[in-house]
Amino acid sequence: MATNAIEAIAGERRRVQLAVSGVSKHFGGLCAVEDVSLSVAAGSITSIIGPNGAGKTSLLNMISGVYKPDTGTITLEGRDITRARPSEVAALGVARTFQNIALFGGMTVLDNIMLGRHVRMKSGILSSVIYWGLAQREEVAHRARVEELIEFLQLQDLRKQPTSALAYGLRKRVELGRALALDPKVLLLDEPMGGMNQEEKEDMARYILDVNGAWGTTIILIEHDMAVVMDISDRVAVFDRGRKIADGTPGEVQRDRAVIAAYLGTRQERAEAAE
């Protein structure tokens, strides 16, 4: 029985949960993403790396519904979400954080994270107005989940603080909490460690690993810190000038000639590696 259970878990983690197929996105004459395909296994951590302007954030914007691809398809658990609105994608279990922190500065830590529960609320306007029945039970349940996340992220002493008063690293942590409040199947993290000091990066990496390990959340991560990427990722996709030039395990990517050229080589070496 134990062996069967382990095999079932391993099989689930190998299942493709999110598939991007031949996706391109243009803004006028600028090609942000060109013919990119990416398969993300359930329960995995996939990192997307590349220079600034390589198309990484544009890809996340297409997955989350903010942008619509010019070509190609995006499927979540076999369901086509290529043209889905951001609210529809969120309702299907995809949450994200942003490169630039997008919190409500005048609201408390608790209230900002509570906002992440809105797509899970089922009560109608009438029951919410009179605060009775379903609305009351929902408020209690959602508040309990938010308190769990506050404890998980070690924000207990700051729960009533306005987020504008917090240090940068703590605001990044609150934004992660708001995304987790959706109870996502897939979590998109756009440079969650950008601007952090080394201690803050280590804390964030630990939270990401804990979310993935404890809850089985599939994570797609954009990050520039290569030490972190290589340490926590199951797979790494490398972008350069809108195209995916490599995709594999951290070890495979580190040895890839095109990746070495893109990061370290001259323009001529980059061109030769791309041939």
Nearest to 265 by CA among 242, 236, 245: 245
Judgement on whether residues 219 and 272 belong to the same structural domain of the protein: yes
Domain of 79 in residue numbering reads as 1-93+185-275
Strand-pair category, 218-222 with 235-240: unpaired
DSSP per-residue letters across 159-215: TTSBGGGS-HHHHHHHHHHHHHTT--SEEEEESTTTT--HHHHHHHHHHHHHHHHHH
Which of the listed residues 183, 216, 236 is the one where a domain comes to its end? 183
Judgement on whether residues 1 and 88 belong to the same structural domain of the protein: yes
Tens of pLDDT along 78-132?
A: 999 999 999 999 999 999 998 877 788 889 999 999 988 876 665 544 444 445 4
Judgement on whether residues 1 and 58 belong to the same structural domain of the protein: yes
* Secondary structure of residue 74 in the 3-state scheme: strand
Judgement on whether residues 86 and 196 belong to the same structural domain of the protein: yes
Q: How confident is the model at residue 263 (pLDDT cuts 50, 70, 90)?
A: confident
Judgement on whether residues 11 and 72 belong to the same structural domain of the protein: yes
Judgement on whether residues 120 and 35 belong to the same structural domain of the protein: no
Tens of pLDDT along 227-240?
A: 999 999 999 999 99
pLDDT (0 to 100) of residue 79? 97
pTM: 0.85
Which of the listed residues 183, 206, 224 is the one where a domain comes to its end? 183
Number of domains the chain contains: 2
Tens of pLDDT along 164-209?
A: 999 999 999 999 999 999 999 999 999 999 899 999 999 999 999 9
Residues ≥6 apart with Cβ < 8 Å to 41: 13, 14, 15, 16, 17, 218, 234, 235
Residues facing 73 on adjacent strands? 21
Residues facing 190 on adjacent strands? 222
Judgement on whether residues 252 and 266 belong to the same structural domain of the protein: yes
Tokens of 166: 């917090």
**N- to C-terminal Cα distance for the chain?**
50
